[in-house]
Amino acid sequence: MSAIAHEIRPAVADLSMTSAPPSADDQALPSRLSIMIDLNAELFLAGLDASLVRDTDDAPQGKDYDALRALTADQLAQKFTDQWADFEKALTGLANDRQLSFQLDAIEVEDNPAMALPRSSKIQISAPLEPNDASVRFGWSAALGPLVLRQQSQTEKPENLYTAYLEPGAISAPIKRQGVTAQPVLTIMLDYAKIGFVHIVPKGLDHILFVLGLFFYAARWRPLLGQVTLFTLAHTTTLMLASTGHIVVSPNIVEPLIAASIIYVAFENLRSERLHAGRLVVIFAFGLLHGLGFASVLGDIGLADGQFMISLISFNIGVELGQIAVLVPAFLLFGVAAGNALWYRRLIAIPASYLIGAIGMWMLITRVFSG
């Protein structure tokens, strides 16, 4: 497997509809739809189908992606500009059911040398609006993956602005220029819960491995419940603190430490058979790290304007449901076997822990040395 692994995350688009100031002769200039999209430009340029691929290593175009990721920021910006016409064809913009024609106004590529991390490219696009265009709809091709779409306005209250998680290929509901009708709270809750769930299953291999490491230490429900509860309390704490700006830690530090946490729980599974206070303390500490990892994902996507706590809590609920989705099948498969402690440990828990530790070591090496 390649040493450069990139989880594919949703792009984020901030949309606004503005009226230009009058010209020198007091003539009203045309209004415009402006959209700033924060995306992984390498996915598009490499021709990956982001609706089907979870990680660039899984794609046939993985080597092309890695080559693009190695370009400088200026080189990638130029390459995207050269292929703008193809990207524009993947966009769908409607104003009163009239197809909009977009132009590329600017592109800014993150100067991020850490090859193990995805690189952010921000493109500014716009399209002219007519005076009678009361609302717009926006979306893009399924191959570009999911999209978080957020409306921006200097006059409307944040709670009245449109925010939605669009599945690949979906188009937004009509977004009004005035008298905005916000997304229902339940819709926002479901959207962010889904984002949290998907970050665990199927995308969060490191978090899945950590939780399974806790499971294989003791598949009986009482010690498992104690470990998972501490882990949940810890990552919820740092998720809240990091999302509100009270803690800022670079992913270059967090991601290798998360890999190290996987190695630790696997080693502990091999070394000890009984739950002890020291393991619980370390699990809590590593839970704090995993919460920072969750916050990094949520920071890339952003929280719904005016619905900060609702979307944050919903994301966390999705994460917890993802953990349950990992543990329940594991318990159904191996919980009964755990009743015979010696047989279970020798034939299931120890081999599984070796495998978890080996994958964790591979993750640690790639995250430390591929940057």
The predicted structure's pLDDT at residue 3: 36
Every domain of the chain and the residues it spans: 11-183, 193-369
CA-nearest of 140, 1, 135 to 62 is 1
DSSP string, 63-91: HHHHHHHTS-HHHHHHHHHHTHHHHHHTE
The predicted structure's pLDDT at residue 7: 60
Contact 89, 78 (CB under 8 A): no
The predicted structure's pLDDT at residue 136: 93
Contact 152, 14 (CB under 8 A): yes
Per-residue pLDDT of the chain (371 residues; tens, 9 = 90+): 333 334 677 899 999 987 654 445 545 556 899 999 999 999 999 999 988 877 777 778 888 998 998 899 999 999 999 999 999 999 999 998 899 999 999 999 998 766 767 789 999 999 999 888 888 999 999 999 999 998 888 776 766 788 888 989 999 989 887 644 556 788 888 988 998 898 899 888 999 999 999 888 876 777 788 888 889 999 989 988 887 778 888 888 888 999 999 999 999 999 877 767 778 888 899 999 999 888 877 776 766 656 778 888 898 999 999 999 999 899 888 877 666 666 788 888 899 999 999 999 999 998 888 65
Neighbours of 260 (CB within 10 A): 17
Contact 8, 54 (CB under 8 A): yes
pTM reported for the whole predicted model: 0.68
The predicted structure's pLDDT at residue 40: 93
Neighbours of 79 (CB within 10 A): 15
Distance (Å) of CA 25 to CA 21, 53, 131, 252: 11, 53, 19, 53
Sign, CA dihedral 78-84-87-88, equals positive
